[in-house]
Amino acid sequence: MKRRVVITGMGVISPVGNDVETFWNSLINGKSGIRKIDRFDTEGFATTIAGQVVDFNPEDFIDRKEARKMDRFVQYSVAAAIQAMNQSGLKLDQENAERVGVYIGSGIGGLETLCEQHSILKERGPRRVSPFFIPMMIGDMASGQVSIYFGAKGPNSSPISACATGTNAIGDASKIIERGAADVMLTGGSEAAVLPLTVAGFNAAKAMSTSYNETPEKASRPFDKDRDGFVLGEGAGVLVLEELEHAKKRGATILAEVVGYGMSGDAYHITAPAPEGEGAARAMKAALHDAGIEPSAIGYINAHGTSTEFNDFFETQAVKSAFGEHAYKLAMSSTKSMTGHLLGAAGAIEAVACVQALREGILPPTTNLDQPGEGCDLDYVANVARKADVEYVMSNSLGFGGHNASIIIRKYND
Amino acid sequence: MSAEIFDRVKNIIVDRLGVEEGEISLQSSFKDDLGADSLDVVELVMELEDEFDMEISDEDAEKINTVGDVVTYIASQK
């Protein structure tokens, strides 16, 4: 029999709250975390807004000496992991350490550190580049530092699939447990890319919203006809995944179960989705197949829903292709309307939202959805959260490079 | 002279290694007593170079074990 994988802990650092409770309350109350960027001078930038993490003090979580050696994306991941482990109640010791792994990804990695050190190299020469530059910057270091913090000696690696990273991480980590290579995995995604270089780059690619700089809370408007690009966000989500019997044996509170995972590649274009969202549709179908359920079992989808013209149109088509008639019966929302797009962390915080939706019986809304765009004709839970008792939810993440990932989470039943 | 150098070195150590000032003596070993690893030592040397406006060669840096070694070295270069 297949080893079942359950969720026993969750942690979040996000533009709408730095713990699960605050994050969730923001989502169901339609509270936006999109503001004017205050990290750097945005003079001359086409976009001057983002979803920034506020009131985050790394020293609330990490020793100052250690925090200094971490890029912001690593600090976020360690903080989210600490929250998740606290909720799980799991303690590591010599007995279990080798059965506990870490698999946390980042789409961009330590770009802030890279930019700083590159400036030092240019201005002051090679001898002034920090010995911590490389171990701060490399994108695997969330997994590295989290394992060091907890002494987790099991499987350890780090996925990168741009904006699909968080969902790929959770899906892959669930399979590591399923196949017996670990009993517990700390998994998710982390991102800290609200930086001049990233904003300039996404602007150059014409991917980000530019029309709502004076009304930041209105900028992320997935599926709305006046959407004009995604809004950059940052933060981290970390989940503790655990083999069911392992969790039961230690009397853990089981939050939900990961029951399906599918992924696919578009093999089409570096940034644009494949026509009709066919790649995304295949990932969704693969997840349904993996879960062994009919499409009609899914009650809610947390959409990738980036608020770009292409994504929202093609993702809607993809859902229709994967779900047939049931596409019009299920509810689908994009919480990016409030958090912005956390890139590699998006799938991770959205998985947390999915678990909360299952547990609380509330579907978070898509805010700023005043008038659906052309071809966007599904039930997007417009503007107001909705009570709904659902058993299965799906979370989609789609990344530059043509990466498509979907996971299915089920309400826990013994 | 040395006392002033010692104070300035201590400030850097407190800031970089996160130790209490009272824990630092001239006899303190960076690695054994102050918890520094090899990367910390490289960074400390860079900080000292900035603080005292001097260059410490890799060869000399490798000979540094204790806080006293640093203070003596800096005093000898001034």
Over residues A241-296, the pLDDT tens digits come to: 999 999 999 999 999 999 999 999 999 999 999 999 999 999 999 999 999 999 99
Contact A99, A250 (CB under 8 A): no
Which chain A residue shows the shortest CA-CA distance from B17?
A65
Q: Look at residue A280 in the predicted model and tell me its pLDDT.
A: 98
Is B8's Cβ below 8 Å from some Cβ in A? no
**Active-site choice (A115, A246, A341, A403):** A341
B1 has pLDDT over 80:
no
Q: What is the pLDDT of residues A87-103, one digit of tens each?
A: 999 999 999 999 999 99
The CA distance from A404 to A265, in Å, is 6
Is A125's Cβ below 8 Å from some Cβ in B? no
pLDDT (mean) for A9-18: 98
Is A135's Cβ below 8 Å from some Cβ in B? yes
Residue B2's pLDDT band (cuts 50, 70, 90): confident
Is A387's Cβ below 8 Å from some Cβ in B? no
Q: What is the pLDDT of residues A353-405, one digit of tens each?
A: 999 999 999 999 999 999 999 999 999 999 999 999 999 999 999 999 999 99
Contacts of A128 in chain B (CB under 8 A): 46
Contacts of B42 in chain A (CB under 8 A): 131
Contacts of B18 in chain A (CB under 8 A): 63-65
Measured at the CA of A384, the angle between CA A381 and CA A389, to 5 degrees, comes to 60
Which of B18, B42, B46 shows the shortest C-beta gap to A65? B18
Q: Look at residue A131 in the predicted model and tell me its pLDDT.
A: 97
pLDDT (mean) for A334-352: 98
The CA distance from A111 to A132, in Å, is 14
Q: Which of residues 16-75 of B touch A (CB under 8 A)?
A: 16-18, 35, 39, 42-43, 46
Which of A64, A128, A135 shows the shortest C-beta gap to B18? A64
Q: What is the pLDDT of residues A65-81, one digit of tens each?
A: 899 999 999 999 999 99
Provide the β-strand partners of residue A156.
Answer: A102
Would you call A163 a catalytic residue per the annotation? yes
Contacts of B60 in chain A (CB under 8 A): none
Nearest chain A CA: its distance from B76 CA (Å): 22
According to DSSP, residue A253 is labeled P
Q: What is the pLDDT of residues A201-213, one digit of tens each?
A: 999 999 999 999 9
Measured at the CA of A381, the angle between CA A376 and CA A383, to 5 degrees, comes to 100
Residue type, A155: P
Contacts of A124 in chain B (CB under 8 A): none
A129 has pLDDT over 80:
yes
Residue A414's pLDDT band (cuts 50, 70, 90): confident
The length of chain B is 78
Which of A65, A128, A135 shows the shortest C-beta gap to B46? A128
pLDDT (mean) for A333-348: 98
**Active-site choice (B15, B32, B33, B37):** B37
Q: Look at residue B35 in the predicted model and tell me its pLDDT.
A: 93
In this structure, how many other beta carbons lie within 10 angstroms of the beta carbon of residue A387?
8
Q: Look at residue A1 in the predicted model and tell me its pLDDT.
A: 81
In this structure, how many other beta carbons lie within 10 angstroms of the beta carbon of residue A30?
17
Residue type, A251: G
Q: What is the pLDDT of residues B15-61, one digit of tens each?
A: 899 899 999 999 999 999 999 999 999 999 999 999 999 999 999 99
